Chain A
Amino acid sequence: MLEVTGLHVAYGGIQAVRSITFHVKQGETVALIGANGAGKTSTLKAISRVIDAVGGDVHFCGEKITRLLPHDIIRKGIALVPEGRGVFPRLTVAENLAMGAYVRDDKADIALDMERMYAYFPRLKERAGQLAGTLSGGEQQMLAIGRALMSRPKMLLLDEPSMGLAPIMVQKIFEVVRAVAAEGMTILLIEQNAKLALESSQRGYVMESGQITLNGESAKLLDDPKVRAAYLGE
């Protein structure tokens, strides 16, 4: 479904991503793990066109999306949950969700989807009228995921959903991620928390200094001595 070939990202002279190739199949959850600064977020940003890639191609559902404008990516069916959540702090929770459905015009269906998000995250329903900037970090993460789902994407890109959250909140967020995946959503998950990411995915790629150094089934990666040593603290 998503095919990334030879993707290269640089900031000035700094090579953030060096010619990486990977793919995500329909219905799969794929984890992209690696340390801070390995180039994971740059990869996601290049796919979602927030930044320009220097080289390489990205195909989605057979179509080349490497040169699309950022606001057209979501129309192709890719929704990004950005690093640091990126909720609109002075819009209400309900308005943030409505922004997720910005590309849709079917009002009745949007209202139904809004109820679905409230069912996933009852906390958001309680706070529907509150400004998003007043939510806790975990609630903002719930909102960012709900907002991305409101566009009815074919694929979800998650950038560090566990970052800066209390363990209990991380559990809750990942429960929802797994539930969404179980409903058939294709997910590319970026995480520093390698254990959690590999436990929640079918396949995984390990990134180091802008390159993919290992890949395979998540269960096998979890048992790989190199992964265990480098990312699982053993």
Chain B
Amino acid sequence: MDIFLQQIINGLVQGSIYALVALGYTMVYGIMGLINFAHGEVVMIGTLVTITVAGTMIKAGMPVVLAGFAGLSASVLVCMALGWGLERIAYRPLRNAPRLTPLITAIGMSIVLQNLAMMIWGRNYMTFPPLLPKMDFEVAGANFTAVQLIIVLVSSLTMGGLLLLVYRTKLGMAMRATSQNPAVASLMGVNINRVIAAAFVIGSALGALAGVMVGTYYEIAHYQMGFMLGLKAFTAAVLGGIGNLAGAMLGGVLLGIIEALGAGYIGDLTGGFLGSHYQDIFAFIVLIIVLMFKPSGLFGEKTGDRA
């Protein structure tokens, strides 16, 4: 029982990170029908920028709190600029191109960003500076750390904030209107280019935050880390129903828990033949099952545009 609870906690933490990244995919998809495969790389750059900024400051003897805050801010700003630039340079010129074209461009941008990161930060694994105090808590036989607690809390608050933005502000209403009918939204006076740019910038900011969390959680980072994380978050977005915000959140958390439970029990289930390092297969099993049986995802049903 304590393994079960422990894996639920671990899954919740990992799932919160997936959810934040999945939101970046789903926001862009919801507005322009594009799967921005370079989003995982944006997250990776968010992690690496934090290492550079916070790591340098800590080495220079500055307080960890200040370094952490500066690292996070720098990472969010760099990623927002990156998201804005991606849309402006890579995707906007292809707005009216066939749908496959921007998709291939997205894969291309992902490769470009990965190589750029390799040139800047090198090929080696880098240690992420410890930004949060090491503390353990125990509840009903399961352990969790301060880092885990903070990851879940911060991502919940951020997601709540995003929902408020999308459902309670004028910008959010314009974003929803644009995703449903861009031509008519522009007749209402909405500058479509600005709304699309906003989706990229907000998604990238969430990605940067997720990047800092991943770094803090695993204490290690690498220029290729965005690839698998991006694929899993994409799976989470598909699981929840791509284009749907609540779906991305639920999909992320569910995927994290499925993965953690899978990793926890795969040894017992296969009689020790497969170990917990096979945990990655669960995300893709989920992806295949969703695509086969409910491609629209959990929340993917649309209300009909009838009459």
Interface residues in chain A, defined as those with a beta carbon under 8 Å from any beta carbon in chain B? 48, 50, 69-75, 79-80, 82, 86, 88-91, 95, 98-100, 102-103, 131, 133-137, 140, 147, 151, 164
Instruction: Point out the residues of chain B lying under 8 angstroms from A98, CB to CB.
Output: 173
**Smallest CB separation, A106 vs chain B (Å):** 13
Contact B191 A88 (CB under 8 A): no
Determine the distance from Cα of A102 to Cα of B191 in the docked complex, in whole angstroms. Answer: 11
Determine the distance from Cα of A126 to Cα of B33 in the docked complex, in whole angstroms. Answer: 34
B187 sits at the interface (CB 8 A): yes
Contact B305 A70 (CB under 8 A): no
Instruction: Point out the residues of chain A lying under 8 angstroms from B176, CB to CB.
Output: 88, 90-91, 95
B100 sits at the interface (CB 8 A): no
- A sample of 11 cross-chain residue pairs with beta-carbon separation below 8 angstroms, ordered by A number, consists of A74-B189, A86-B181, A88-B184, A88-B185, A89-B180, A90-B180, A99-B185, A102-B170, A103-B189, A134-B303, A134-B306
Interface membership of chain B positions 172-190, coded 1 if the CB is closer than 8 angstroms to chain A and 0 otherwise = 0110110011011111111
Given A71-B192, A75-B189, A151-B188, answer yes or no on A102-B174 (Cβ-Cβ < 8 Å).
yes
Determine the distance from Cα of A75 to Cα of B192 in the docked complex, in whole angstroms. Answer: 15
Contact A133 B304 (CB under 8 A): yes
Given A90-B302, A133-B306, A140-B307, answer yes or no on A82-B187 (Cβ-Cβ < 8 Å).
yes
Determine the distance from Cα of A70 to Cα of B173 in the docked complex, in whole angstroms. Answer: 19
Which residue of chain B has the shortest Cβ distance to A100 in the bound complex? B188
Instruction: Point out the residues of chain B lying under 8 angstroms from A95, CB to CB.
Output: 173, 176
Interface residues in chain B, defined as those with a beta carbon under 8 Å from any beta carbon in chain A? 170, 173-174, 176-177, 180-181, 183-192, 302-307
Contact A88 B189 (CB under 8 A): no
**Smallest CB separation, B189 vs chain A (Å):** 4
**Smallest CB separation, B33 vs chain A (Å):** 15
Determine the distance from Cα of A78 to Cα of B9 in the docked complex, in whole angstroms. Answer: 56
Instruction: Point out the residues of chain B lying under 8 angstroms from A136, CB to CB.
Output: 307
**Smallest CB separation, B195 vs chain A (Å):** 10
Which residue of chain B has the shortest Cβ distance to A134 in the bound complex? B303
**Smallest CB separation, B299 vs chain A (Å):** 12
Partner of A99, one of B183, B188, B191, B305: B188
Interface centre among A74, A95, A102, A135 (most CB of B within 10 A): A102
Instruction: Point out the residues of chain B lying under 8 angstroms from A164, CB to CB.
Output: 307
Determine the distance from Cα of A71 to Cα of B187 in the docked complex, in whole angstroms. Answer: 6
Determine the distance from Cα of A82 to Cα of B181 in the docked complex, in whole angstroms. Answer: 12
Instruction: Point out the residues of chain B lying under 8 angstroms from A99, CB to CB.
Output: 173-174, 177, 185, 188, 190
Given A90-B302, A90-B303, A164-B307, answer yes or no on A74-B180 (Cβ-Cβ < 8 Å).
no
Determine the distance from Cα of A195 to Cα of B214 in the docked complex, in whole angstroms. Answer: 67
Closest 5 CB pairs of A and B: A137-B307, A103-B189, A86-B184, A133-B303, A89-B305
Determine the distance from Cα of A98 to Cα of B180 in the docked complex, in whole angstroms. Answer: 15
Interface centre among A50, A70, A72, A134 (most CB of B within 10 A): A70
Given contacts A50-B187, A86-B183, A102-B173, 13 further A-B contacts (CB under 8 A): A69-B191, A70-B187, A82-B183, A88-B177, A89-B305, A90-B180, A99-B177, A99-B190, A103-B188, A133-B303, A134-B303, A134-B304, A135-B307
Contact B183 A50 (CB under 8 A): yes
**Smallest CB separation, A20 vs chain B (Å):** 22
Contact B186 A70 (CB under 8 A): yes
Determine the distance from Cα of A70 to Cα of B193 in the docked complex, in whole angstroms. Answer: 12
Instruction: Point out the residues of chain A lying under 8 angstroms from B187, CB to CB.
Output: 48, 50, 70-71, 73-74, 79-80, 82, 86
Contact B188 A102 (CB under 8 A): yes
Instruction: Point out the residues of chain B lying under 8 angstroms from A103, CB to CB.
Output: 188-189
Determine the distance from Cα of A70 to Cα of B186 in the docked complex, in whole angstroms. Answer: 6
Determine the distance from Cα of A115 to Cα of B172 in the docked complex, in whole angstroms. Answer: 23
Which residue of chain A has the shortest Cβ distance to B189 in the bound complex? A103
Determine the distance from Cα of A131 to Cα of B301 in the docked complex, in whole angstroms. Answer: 14
Determine the distance from Cα of A227 to Cα of B306 in the docked complex, in whole angstroms. Answer: 34
Interface centre among B176, B190, B305 (most CB of A within 10 A): B305
**Smallest CB separation, A176 vs chain B (Å):** 18
Partner of A131, one of B181, B184, B303: B303
Determine the distance from Cα of A97 to Cα of B303 in the docked complex, in whole angstroms. Answer: 19
Contact B180 A102 (CB under 8 A): no
